[in-house]
Amino acid sequence: MLNHNGYAAYANSKIMTASPAELTLMLYDGAIKFCNIAIAGIEENNIEKAHNNIRKVEDIISEFQATLNHKYATADDFNNVYVYLKERLIEANMKKDKEILEEVLKHLRTMRDTWKEVMKLAASQR
């Protein structure tokens, strides 16, 4: 139990000291992790595991939507992608469809990897 508390304190500290860019990266990583767990739930025929983790991915995407800065034209483009991903997640959850989740996972990975490149570029320009 002590080890778990130490990890929780470390994770909390990491979140509390992260920049907005790092928090965004953590959210992408979390969405990818939960999507993978949902796929495993479907493969294991564990409906509750699949459902709960699909909902976690939906919640992260909702957070992305809520934090879009609409003074930039690209915000609408990102919102359209997020709407599409949420629609696919709902369909995957209703059908417990692993292929749909793999499609969503592909998009999430691409977005995460692009975000990492943006972070590198921004860091090199400081």
Output the pLDDT for position 56.
98
Average pLDDT over the chain reads: 92
> How far is residue 26's CA from residue 40's CA, in Å, rounded to a whole number?
21
Is the predicted pLDDT of residue 7 greater than 90, yes or no? Answer: no
Output the pLDDT for position 17.
79
Q: Does domain 19-124 have CATH number 2.60.40.10?
A: no
Output the pLDDT for position 1.
52
pLDDT tier at 18, thresholds 50, 70, 90: confident
Residue 44 sits at φ, ψ, to 5 deg, of -85, 0
Average pLDDT over residues 9-29: 82
Output the pLDDT for position 8.
62
Global pTM reads 0.87
* Share of residues in the chain with pLDDT > 90 (%): 83
Output the pLDDT for position 11.
57
Task: Say if residues 43 and 98 touch (Cβ distance below 8 Å).
Answer: yes
> How far is residue 102's CA from residue 99's CA, in Å, rounded to a whole number?
5
Average pLDDT over residues 49-70: 97
> How far is residue 126's CA from residue 122's CA, in Å, rounded to a whole number?
7
Task: Say if residues 58 and 52 touch (Cβ distance below 8 Å).
Answer: no
